[in-house]
Amino acid sequence: MEVLMENETLEVVIKKSLADKYGHVNFKKYLDLFRRGQDNFAKKRGLSFSAIERMYGLRSVVRQMNAEYIGEVFPSEKVAIKTKIGKIGNSSFAYHQEILKEGKVVTRFTLTVVMIDSNDKPTAIPADVRAKLQ
């Protein structure tokens, strides 16, 4: 089922610690920014991976990620991290994210997460978790 949710937007000012020797945000540091957007999305919906593990005994693992770098971001610049859920499968879902600077997309990111049980087997997303993702 292809489901495109409403964006959650988190605005951040880029810290100097994210820059590399070329003065722009290092490609590896974008993961930190996207994680912040994911955490913001989950928090606004009352979700957390630790709570899912505690309540259902399920862990979430990254199955796949894909980044497209279109532009640069520099320290002290303000960016918007837009996060939504795209596809929700039986045991997996995908975050679709963009980082925008001055309204223009500079990076796109997709992260697919799979719910697994204590035997490391993919398992269905609980109904109430699914509802919060939608």
- In this model, does residue 1 exceed pLDDT 60? no
pTM of the model: 0.89
CA separation for the pair 59, 65 (Å, rounded): 18
pLDDT averaged over every residue in the chain? 92
Task: Provide the 10 A C-beta neighbour count for residue 93.
Answer: 22
Residue 40 lies in a domain: yes
Residue 1 lies in a domain: no
Q: Which residue has the higher pLDDT, 6 or 86?
A: 86
Residue 30 lies in a domain: yes
* Structural domain of 90: 8-133
Total structural domains within the chain: 1
Residue 2 lies in a domain: no
Question: CATH number of the domain that 120 lies in?
Answer: 3.10.129.10
Residue 76 lies in a domain: yes
Q: What is the pLDDT of residues 80-107, one digit of tens each?
A: 999 999 989 999 999 999 999 999 999 9
Q: Which of 14-28, 37-51, 83-97 has the lowest mean pLDDT?
A: 37-51
